[in-house]
Amino acid sequence: MSLFALFAPHLSAAEMVQDKDKIAALLLDRRERYQSCADLVLSPNSTQSVQKIMQLAWANKIPVVPIGGNTGLCGGASINGGVLLSLEKLNQINPVNTADRCITVGSGSLLYQVQQAAKDAGLFFPLSLASEGSCQIGGNIAANAGGINVLRYGTMRDLVLGLEVVLPNGEIISSLQPLHKNTAGLDLKHLFIGSEGTLGIITAATLKLFFLPQQVETLWASCANINECINLLNILQKHSSGSLKSFELISHTALNISANDLHTTPPTNAAWHILCEWEKTQNTERLPETLLQHGFEHILIAQNEQQRQNWWRLRENISAAQKRRGVSIKHDIALSIAALADFVAACEKNIQAAFANAEIVLFGHLGDGSLHYNIFLPDYPDKSVYQFENQINSIVYQVVLQHNGTIAAEHGVGILKKHWLKNMRNASELALMQAIKQHLDPYGIMNPHKVYPE
C-alpha cells in the first residue's frame, strides 16, 4: 500500500499536500545544501491530525520529519524517504493572558505574528531573529533559538512556560497552563526544547510575555579590539541596572559587506563595532557620560527612530548580504566571554595559515558569547567552496573546543554537525541522550539521522 493510500482515509484532502511547487520548496533547505526526498508531504490542521499521523507512522514504522518555516541552517528538517510533516496550519494564536503575561499559540505560528499579538496587547515577546517573518514558533523551540535579546531575556528555553507535544507513538502530553512555578516532578518540556524534532512533535506552546520597554537607548560604538568591546560590555552591565537587552559585535569586514549591499555608509570606521540597546530609565540617563569618563570617545547615540532602524538594518542585513556575494562556510559557535579575544586571534591565525586570502566575516551576540564565524573564499564564491568545508570546520571547531566552547549555539546540530557531538559531550552524556531517544522512539522514526552520532 502506498503512503498516500495509508494516510488519506484519516485526513482531509487539504491536509494531503500535492502541489508540486509547494512540495519542491519544502524539500530544499534554506542554504540549498540539502535536497530532500519525501514519499509523502502532509500538512495537518490540528493536534488530533498530528496524533493520527503519528499513530499510523508508529504502527507501520514510517519515518516522520517535522518542518516549520524551513529556515534551518544545519539540515535539521531534511528527509530521505517517509513523511515530511509541515506544521504551518497549526497557527492559532489565542488571546493574550494579560494577568499571567503569557500567550498560547500553535507551533506553526510565525514569530512576527506572535510578536505583534503581544504588542497589540501592550506586551512584548522578546525573541528577535532576522528570519522572524518566516520562521515558526515550533522550530524556534525545537532549536532553542536565541537572537539579539538573550542578554536580558534568555533563549527560547527561558521563554516557554508550557508545551503540547505528540510523542512518536501518538500519545499527547500537554501542559499549557500558565504556571510560572511548578516543581511537581520533572519539568518534561525541557526534553523537547532544543531536541530538533527527534523526540516528538511540538504542536502548541505557552510563552512568557513582558512589559513593553517604554523607551530604549541605542548606542553604536567603535573599538580597537575585542577586549575593548568586552570592557564596554562590563561597564554597561554595571551601570545599566540590568536594563541592557542586546549587545551585538560586528567586525569591520561584516559591516562593510552589509553597508555596501545596502548602498550606505557605515556610521564609523574601526576594526570592531558594537550595536547595543538598553531600556532608558532614570538610572541610565548618565550612561553616555559614564562611557566617556571610561575613555570610550567613539560612541554615537541614536537621535531618532529612523537612525536606530538604520543601524539595526546594517546588523540584520549581514547574512543576506553575504549570501548575495556568494557561498560561505558558516559556524554558529559560543564561548565564554573571557575566552573570546584569544579565540578570535588564534582562529584567524589558523585560518589564514591554511587559506591566505580567506575573508573572516564575524558578528554576533557578544553579550552572551555567541558568534557567527563565517569564512568566504573569494576564489570559490559558489558551492565549489564546500570541498574545503571539512577542513575549515576542523580548524574552527578545534580552536572552539580548545577554549571550551560549543560548536552549536543557536542553530542546532541537525545533520551538518552531528559527527562533532562526540567532541562536545562525554560518553555518559551521549549514552543518556541515546537512552532517552531509545525510550521515546524505539523504532527510530522521529526525525531520523539527526543530532545523535550514528
Query: Which segments of the chain belong to CATH 3.30.70.2190?
Result: 216-319
Rounded CA separation 111/130 (Å): 10
Query: Which segments of the chain belong to CATH 3.30.465.10?
Result: 102-211
Give me the pLDDT at residue 300, please. 95
Q: Options 3.30.70.2740, 2.30.30.40, 3.30.300.30, 3.30.360.10; which CATH number does 326-416 get?
A: 3.30.70.2740
Give me the pLDDT at residue 291, please. 92
Task: Report the CATH fold assignment for 216-319.
Answer: Alpha-Beta Plaits (3.30.70)
Rounded CA separation 60/184 (Å): 35
Give me the pLDDT at residue 89, please. 98
Cell readout for 149 is: 535579546
Domain spanning 102-211: CATH 3.30.465.10:
yes
Residues 6+ apart with CB under 8 A from 397: 331, 333, 407, 420, 423
Query: Which segments of the chain belong to CATH 3.30.43.10?
Result: 3-86
Domain spanning 3-86: CATH 3.30.43.10:
yes
Range list of β-strands (E), 9-114 = 16-17, 40-42, 64-67, 83-86, 102-106
Give me the pLDDT at residue 282, please. 80
Give me the pLDDT at residue 130, please. 87
Give me the pLDDT at residue 119, please. 97
Structure-derived torsion over alpha carbons of residues 408, 411, 416, 421, reported in degrees to the nearest 10: 30
CB hemisphere CA count around 401 (13 angstroms) = 14
Q: List, run by run, the mean pLDDT of 10-residue segments along the chain (454 residues).
A: 95 96 94 92 98 98 97 93 98 98 98 98 95 96 95 96 98 95 94 98 98 92 97 94 94 98 96 96 86 91 96 96 96 97 98 97 96 97 96 98 95 93 94 97 97 89
Give me the pLDDT at residue 285, please. 85
